[in-house]
Structure 1
């Protein structure tokens, strides 16, 4: 797996890979100090990303542009050098930045479990912006020569997603074992965000996220000129499974 920007960059350099499915969008939220009540109040403020060229940097630039802000004029966007959401939130409370983008589970832990007041200004989709995520990729040769094996994998993968959506307790057991999560509120929140919101029941490649990555990288990667999202993904395998009625059967009680 890799982000759509990683795939776009690799293909532009000649890598024979293709996106065939997705783990869904990362559950990000635009957050700010509690004194900032709406996105428009970010004008004149300092927004912190992780680093220049990172997914959070591109995501914030897209959101700020949708809000009508010009970076460097209406709002300052600075690279904090910090990739972890929780550490950027700490920078916010230290007064070094006014806002940032954070993973929703980290925001939940600060706000709901830690009692910290955080202003949640919205999710990327609220601003008409696709969120980066984890895309599932393979080589075009593997897709062609070992298609039945890939099909079996995605059927098993989709069955696991369906089980996670239907069976909370099973999901909680996995979270407890592998994520070391014990808090009941956090377990419930993580299940809802990951299995009901982020991971799609039909894991088609996310064309909008791939196209956004092309636009993000076009200026720094001249080889992307003239390329479009369909050059980077192949949805035929998921479509084949869908046409077989597999997802419909999984969705039944």
Structure 2
């Protein structure tokens, strides 16, 4: 009888928690290692731990996430990079509230006959969408290697991009792990890698949490809960390799042990333990967005970097000692 009563109380408690959970629509991109913390948070029920009922919605490109948020379809989402900058300079109220990846992690994967950046002249390179992070990455490659005459093709989602490459519709694509490792194993060439960007000093915040200021002002506890769940997910990447690989395999549909191992090592290398947004990770995006004529250069120059982010949520988490305790 006691065990029955205990079970009833447990079910009642779980039901009560579910009823109290705040529903959150969370648009994210891409289907790659860059989204691993949120997938782990979902699979490990970290969202529920912090009182959230999160509906993760895959969106093919970061500009669409910003548009959806500005349209009121979501109050918090995954993102960063050029779409965030464009939104702020156009009067939007979406700001960065946490960083997960503060530097370029995408690669340019090309057909094996393309051996040097000079061979890109006249070639068709696939990106998800104009103005998205892959577009920005390709523009950085153009500038880095002074290559002209590349034909940009919008290929949509990662799956569509890989299909376009395999069918010969494009000569290369901008993508990231685990698909970089999968494509290289299939014989394609990694012409430009994240390491090349780091060597050249090219860095920019490409992934993290963004929110509408109007939403966050009324739902501060939701933003803090999302940051905590995200950081719990990142910790699991470092301390629970088996679980991280299992989640990665589920969401990316990659089952090759070698590729999963390479991708996990990649994730450990790129994710950071302190989600504070730094001016140094924002400034290159603003400068290069202006140089690539993605935004008004004069307006970008007169807008303070603090307009793009709000660290008050992370500061509150740090003051509570939660973040230090997480990594202890």
Above 0.5 in TM-score?
yes
Aligned pairs for 1:90-239 (under 5 A) are: 99-112=172-185, 114=186, 116-123=187-194, 124-130=197-203, 133-194=206-267, 196-205=268-277, 207-218=279-290, 219-222=293-296, 223-239=299-315
Shift of 1:148: 4.2
Shift of 1:150: 2.9
Q: Which residue of 1 aligns with 2:134?
A: 56
Q: Which residue of 1 aligns with 2:325?
A: 249
Distance 2:124 2:304 in 1: 30
**Structure 2: gaps (5+ residues):** 1-76
Shift of 1:78: 1.2
Output the aligned Cα RMSD.
3.3
Select 2:99's aligned residue among 18, 22, 25.
22
The answer as to whether partners of 1:37 and 1:119 remain within 8 angstroms in 2 is no
Q: Which structure's CA Rg is the greater one? A: 2
Distance 1:94 1:179 in 2: 21
Distance 2:93 2:301 in 1: 18
The answer as to whether partners of 2:126 and 2:170 remain within 8 angstroms in 1 is no
- Of 74-83 and 93-102, deviating more is 93-102
Distance 1:81 1:136 in 2: 25
Select 2:149's aligned residue among 76, 84, 93.
76
Q: Which has the higher contact order (CA 8 A, sep 6+)?
A: 1
Shift of 1:43: 7.1
SS in 2 for 1:130: coil
SS in 2 for 1:104: coil
**Structure 1: gaps (5+ residues):** none
Distance 2:116 2:304 in 1: 34
TM-score scaled by length of structure 2: 0.61
The answer as to whether partners of 1:85 and 1:101 remain within 8 angstroms in 2 is no
Check 1:90–1:129 CA distance in 2 against 1; reply closer, same or farther (3 A cut): farther
Shift of 1:20: 0.5
Check 1:189–1:221 CA distance in 2 against 1; reply closer, same or farther (3 A cut): same
The answer as to whether partners of 1:45 and 1:98 remain within 8 angstroms in 2 is no
The answer as to whether partners of 1:29 and 1:102 remain within 8 angstroms in 2 is yes
The answer as to whether partners of 1:49 and 1:60 remain within 8 angstroms in 2 is no
Shift of 1:145: 4.7
Distance 1:43 1:16 in 2: 38
Check 1:176–1:66 CA distance in 2 against 1; reply closer, same or farther (3 A cut): closer
Check 1:249–1:183 CA distance in 2 against 1; reply closer, same or farther (3 A cut): same
Check 1:102–1:178 CA distance in 2 against 1; reply closer, same or farther (3 A cut): closer
SS in 2 for 1:22: strand
Check 1:97–1:49 CA distance in 2 against 1; reply closer, same or farther (3 A cut): closer
TM-score scaled by length of structure 1: 0.76
